[in-house]
Amino acid sequence: MKDYLPICREDMQKRGWDQVDFTFVIGDAYVDHPSFGPAIISRVLEDAGYRVGIIAQPDWKNPESIDVFGEPRLGFLICAGNMDSMVNHYSVSKKRRSRDYFTPGGVMGKRPDHATVVYGNLIRRTYRHKPVIIGGIEASLRRMAHYDYWDDCMKRSVLLDSQADLISYGMGEKSIVEIADALSSGIPVEDITFIKGTVYKTRRPDRVCDALTLPSYDELLADKLNYARSFYIQYCNTDAFSGKCLIEPYPDGVCVVQNPMSPPLTTEEMDHVYALPYMRSYHPCYEKDGGIDAIKEVKFSLISNRGCYGGCNFCALTFHQGRIIQVRSHESIIEEARQIIADPDFKGYIHDVGGPTANFRKPACQKQLKRGVCTNRQCLFPKPCPNLEVDHSDYLSLLRKLRELPGVKKVFIRSGIRFDYIMADPDETFFREMCAHHISGQLKVAPEHISDAVLKTLGKPENSVYRAFCKKYAAINKKLGKPQYLVPYLMSSHPGSTLKEAIELAEYLRDNHLSPEQVQDFYPTPSTISTCMYYTGVDPRTMKPVFVEHNPHGKAMQRALIQYKNPNNYELVHEALELAHRTDLIGFEKKCLIKPRNTKDPAFRKTEYPKEKKQKRPATQAEIKYGISFEKYDSIQQDARKQADKRSAQRRKNKR
């Protein structure tokens, strides 16, 4: 039967079940859509013949909240949600967010901090010996000892703190079915040590074959540099082909063992996963509370690939999805597009066709499918590898097919675009068609910074590549007659960025007449090279020191410099320029970022900025007609436009 999976005993009984095989506890509301990890895992298990019941956002203070289905036959599954629960709850400044897009009505507080740990301990209060398997992005990126930005300390593997038996890390489709099969065949959970893509605990590390031993947890606490060394060993063993088992010892004699990553899915396997009978929306029980906001961005979007070999240091994709690209077939994506078109709410616009990086539709080179990714070099950074196969033809063909589907007005690309990959392609066909058909006036790209010194620590290409991309983008749009613009994503306070580099970025924005409305402060999330730099102060690949701005005031100054035109940032920008000895940027010349504090000060009148003689201008038609100044007339017009906009917005709201 095609329906939502059971969320209560009544649902279970309707299916004729007397017991579930797995109780799946999740931190998000239940959304049965392939963009949501719990939906994929539960449908994959269902497809393998297992009965799964969903408990979404249980009351973690009440042990009875996880007893909805009674005792499961095989065990409990736990996923904190589509996001790390701490990222979901807190901004980079550690302030509580006001809205949770994965909760009915956006209400905050429906899940605990460190949800995986809390849910695991909640289950153990009632079911002490039942197998508990944790997974999802939170457990995956905290599978070994890690730096926790929110508590500003080293934490143990989430496997130990949650009292779970296994972690299914990465995307999990293969490993979760193998775990289920092993449990169903009667193998005790403590003996399930042989499955790729899992982490387990043992007191017999001597039984682990072909393994590397990481610094112990005590050694990590004693010296931050030990964490840098440990992290780099982990980073070099994230590949399914060449990765080795990793052993992390703990003080009480327990060792956490990470098996190599699961092999990447083939195209046929990917197609099968996305063809499962998803309901493609949130459970109807949430309708009364306002629904789930998170579905809006993905309901009319298509996932075409997984994995990323871009190698950005601030991104955790290497640890979670891996660097080998996995793709769906055109037929699979077009079939899902037809389902979208049939939706009554579809207005003719497919919002996105992509993945972590939209324009990656094949592995970087053929060697990756046989021997895995290189451990000592990147595919795109600092320069494209000579073995990199740059080819947009398959992605372009897919977009053309989607554009031709009846009922489709426009197909947009909103996933990340690697502009350096586009620039490495000698064929401009994709670039031209992207500008002609797949942009809605603005293309969002992520240069992150313009200082080559900072770009090096970010793992991004040199600024000259981005400048060349901007020039070509402008030329193509001019030829097409389309007034389309670039919106650059910029990051402040990343390791390696001092006030000098922040001012360099501000000068670039000034020279290019850019005023970013949004700026992302660097957010140290688990399992990224950048977070390791932030905590240890060294690049784990070279062990060379890297400047890190830890002071909140220093971070605020770097952020303010990117938005130096904002009057609220004036004092921070002024202070930053004085500290950096760049007071030449304070004044009235075109090159200046801000004006001096007080132009009436006697000291100012002695400077090189003489008071300009005011020129009398001729009266405008408005002044002649209405008898008021142009400035006053313009102000009245602006107020009238604002009032008209408010009335229009109210009419639209009433109509809804």
Write the pLDDT tens digit of every residue in 148-202: 999 999 999 999 999 999 999 999 999 999 999 999 999 999 999 999 999 999 9
Rounded to two decimals, the pTM is: 0.88
Q: Which of the 8 DSSP states describes residue 487?
A: E
**Tokens of residue 346, six digits:** 């579809």
* Nearest residue to 314 via CA among 500, 576, 92: 92
What whole-number distance in Å separates Cα of residue 616 and Cα of residue 608? Answer: 24
- Please answer whether residues 316 and 527 qualify as being in contact, where contact means their C-beta atoms are separated by less than 8 angstroms: yes
pLDDT at 652: 67
pLDDT at 615: 44
Residues 334-372: tens digit of each pLDDT: 999 999 999 999 999 999 999 999 999 999 998 898 889
DSSP 36-81: SHHHHHHHHHHHTT--EEEEES--TT-GGGG-TT-S-SSEEEEE--
Task: Report pLDDT for 1.
Answer: 67
CB contact set of 400 (below 8 Å; sequence gap of 6+): 433
- Report pLDDT for 635: 65
Q: Which two tokens stand for residue 198?
A: 């899992």
- pLDDT computed for residue 355 by the predictor: 95
Report CA 76 to chain centroid distance, whole Å. Answer: 27
Quote the pLDDT of residue 599: 56
Helix (H) or strand (E) holding 444: strand 442-448
Task: Output the pLDDT for position 646.
Answer: 73
Q: Is 410 exposed, middle or buried (0-12, 13-18, 19+ CB in 10 A)?
A: middle
pLDDT at 637: 61
Query: Considering the domain 300-435, what is its CATH architecture?
Result: 2-Layer Sandwich (3.30)
Max distance between CA atoms of the chain, in angstroms, equals 93
- DSSP per position, 87-130: HHHB-TT-PBPS--TTSGGG-S-SS-TTHHHHHHHHHHTT-SSS
> So what's the pLDDT on residue 650?
73
Which is nearest to 363 in space by CA: 313, 327, 312? 327
Q: Enumerate residue ranges in the chain where pLDDT < 50.
A: 602-623, 625-626
Residues 6+ apart with CB under 8 A from 243: 237, 260, 261, 372
Q: Which residue in 154, 255, 155, 250 sits closest to 199, CA to CA?
A: 255
Give the three-class secondary structure for 538: strand
Beta carbons of 488 and 514 less than 8 angstroms apart: yes
Q: What is the second-level CATH architecture of the domain 441-615?
A: 2-Layer Sandwich (3.30)
Tokens of 237: 């063993």
Span 386-403, pLDDT tens digits:
999 999 999 999 999 999
Looking at residue 78, its pLDDT comes to: 98
> Which of the 8 DSSP states describes residue 265?
P
Instruction: List the end-to-end C-alpha distance of the chain, in Å, as a whole number.
Output: 34
In whole angstroms, what is the distance from residue 347 CA to residue 338 CA?
13
* Residue closest to 577 by CA, chosen among 496, 490, 501, 503: 503
Task: Give the helix ranges, DSSP H, for 512-612.
Answer: 529-536, 552-562, 570-579, 602-605
Backbone phi, then psi, for 221, in 5-degree steps?
-70, -30
Nearest Cα to 572, choosing from 544, 603, 605, 594?
Answer: 594
pLDDT confidence of residue 165: 98
* Fold of the domain spanning 9-193: Rossmann fold (3.40.50)
Residue 42, amino acid: S
